[in-house]
Amino acid sequence: MSNDPRFFAFLKERIGLDVASVGEAIIERAVRQRSQAVQAQTADDYWQHLQSSHDEQQALIEAVIVPETWFFRYPESFATLARLAKARLAEINQMRALRILSLPCSTGEEPYSIAMALLDAGLAPHQFKVLGLDVSPLSVERARRGVYGKNSFRGGDLEFRERHFIEQADGYHLADRVREQVRLQVGNLLDPALLANEPSYDFVFCRNLLIYFDQPTQKQVFDVLKGLTHVDGVLFIGPAEGSLLGRHGMRSIGVPQSFAFSRQTEPVKPEPLFVPMPAPAPQRSSAPIPFTPRPFSAVSAPVVPIKSPQSDASDLLSQIATLANEGKSAEARAACERYLSNHPPAAQVFYWLGLLSDVAGSVLEAQGYYRKALYLEPQHSQALMHLAALLESQGDSAGARRLQARAARGERADSEFKR
């Protein structure tokens, strides 16, 4: 049932998903799981069932879409929104409520973060309303429940949780005053009638979505987003998507780490490519790091617990991920250099250095780090995909496709290995 182009084409048509962006193995695994769930014996059996069942079509989409989000992801975006919202209210003389759109809203962390940020900034409930849209009914239903586990709270600053949530046995329950600011509904960004009769929005959040589309679909989606955003409005996108908007007549508002764009009348150079920092993935094989004990000291000293080099390396990798996810680029880079000074070279560290170079606009340096990561780990899927995205933004489509195909082969091999 693997590598059947019919299923790739179905997902491309329904949600715009470009198979190269996630790797064939991800889709193949979802098709296999759904086939087993409905007891289909062959690919043809499952395809026929898929065509005849709207519920199964949605179930396959749900199996492919794996929400990965948390509250106040990219904190500077929300701090920037609060400042811009106050200025926008002054511009319109507070004659109406601000309109804010979050799509895809996933399980609700983003639209609720928007509401919490504005309430904490001093806006009154009647001064803004948030609409959250997602193609997944299951995700929307979870968002409506407003109950979250610890995985939705990341980073060092969790004071907002004390203000806006009540801890109960089944998780953290969102306060009603926040929920009342957000309306949630199912919607597909590829639907030409999406919000057709709605007024435009002052602020639109659409983050980490465009990177999953091919270029024609990116253009189609961008046209929809531009139509939804007020002419004086601001569009917040994902860190990896700045160069895409730069090619379509948008410019950065100039606030570092906000990933916020407005319309422009003159073309500008594309924004530097940058992507969110993932937590370090466990390596398949991890040989012990050589360790030479220090000579015995002639002076006796109290015995204190000492971390092993392996433990220290793991802690430092986690620290790099945390710093990078919080937008602390300088600190994350320093942690990477500290790692390389005290431990053997690691592909994941060079990958992070590549990302940090991207956000600084050092394209050639970023390419060098990505290639170092691939030298150490030739099938490092993240380095392959992000180097491919970098080449694509520079016009090297052929080179980008080669790297995407290589990443897809690695995903497929990994899928087979795990069976």
Q: Is residue 270 part of a domain?
A: no
pTM of the predicted structure, to 2 decimals: 0.63
Q: Are residues 234 and 87 in the same domain?
A: yes
pLDDT of 128 over the 60 cut = yes
Q: Which of these three, 263, 296, 324, is where a domain ends?
A: 263
Q: Is 302 exposed, middle or buried (0-12, 13-18, 19+ CB in 10 A)?
A: exposed
What confidence category does residue 269 fall into, taking pLDDT thresholds of 50, 70 and 90?
very low
In a domain, residue 271? The reply is no
Reference 107, options 80, 84, 87, 137; nearest CA is 137
Which DSSP helix (H) or strand (E) runs through 100? strand 98-102
Spatial neighbors of 111 by CB under 8 A, at least 6 apart, are: 100, 102, 105, 130, 131, 132, 143, 182, 184, 205
Based on the fold, state whether residues 173 and 209 are members of the same structural domain. yes
- Total domains in the chain come to 3
Number of Cβ within a 10 Å radius of residue 413: 12
Query: Do residues 194 and 89 touch, judged by C-beta distance below 8 A?
Result: no
In this structure, the answer to whether residues 44 and 101 fall within a common structural domain is: no
Q: What is the mean pLDDT of residues 3-21?
A: 83
pLDDT for 243: 67
40 is a domain residue: yes
Pair (51, 180) in one structural domain: no
The reported pLDDT for the residue numbered 171 is 95
Domain match, 178 and 127 both = yes
304 part of a folded domain: no
Q: How far is CA 223 from the centre of its chain?
A: 21
Strand ranges of the sheet holding 201-206, from the earlier edge strand across to the other edge:
182-186, 128-134, 98-102, 201-206, 229-237, 260-263, 250-252
Q: Do 373 and 231 belong together in one domain? A: no
Structure tokens at 186: 């199912």
Residues 27 and 80 in one domain: no
By mean pLDDT, which of 262-266, 283-287, 329-333 is the weakest? 283-287
In-domain check, residue 401: yes
The residue range of the domain holding 45 is 5-64
Say whether both 153 and 201 belong to one domain.
yes
The rounded distance, in Å, linking the Cα atoms of 352 and 357 is 9
| pLDDT tens readout for residues 166-223 | 999 999 999 999 999 999 999 988 887 889 888 999 999 998 888 778 778 888 888 8
Cα angle for residues 299, 304, 307 (degrees, 5° grid): 120
DSSP H helices in 165-308: 176-179, 215-228, 242-246
- pLDDT 10s digits, 67-120: 678 999 889 999 999 999 999 999 999 999 999 999 999 999 999 999 999 999
- Band (pLDDT 50/70/90 cuts) for residue 409 is low
For residues 390 and 273, the answer to whether their CB atoms sit within 8 Å is: yes
Assess whether 124 and 156 both reside in one domain.
Answer: yes
Each as own residue / partner, the long-range contacts of residues 171-176 (CB below 8 Å, 24 or more positions apart, any chain) are: 171/147, 172/147, 172/148, 173/146, 173/147, 174/112, 174/146, 174/147, 174/148
- What is the C-alpha separation between 301 and 26, in angstroms, rounded? 54
For residue 235, give the nearest of 73, 393, 86, 101 by alpha carbon.
101
Task: Please check whether residues 40 and 98 belong to one and the same domain.
Answer: no
Question: In the prediction, which pLDDT does 414 show?
Answer: 54
Q: What is the CATH number of the domain that holds 90?
A: 3.40.50.150
Percent of the chain clearing pLDDT 70 (strictly above)? 81
Residue 153 shares a structural domain with residue 28: no
- Helix pair angle (5-15, 54-64), 10° resolution: 90
Q: Do 138 and 218 have their domain in common?
A: yes
Q: Among 33, 64, 95, give the residue marking a domain's end.
A: 64
The distance in angstroms from the start CA to the end CA of the chain is: 14
Work out the pLDDT band at 284, boundaries 50, 70, 90: very low
Helix (H, G, I), strand (E, B) or coil at 236: strand
Q: Quick one: pLDDT band at residue 402, thresholds 50, 70, 90?
A: confident
Based on the number of CB atoms within 10 Å of its own CB, is 196 exposed (0-12), middle (13-18) or buried (19 or more)? exposed
In 343-396, alpha helices (H) = 347-359, 363-376, 381-393
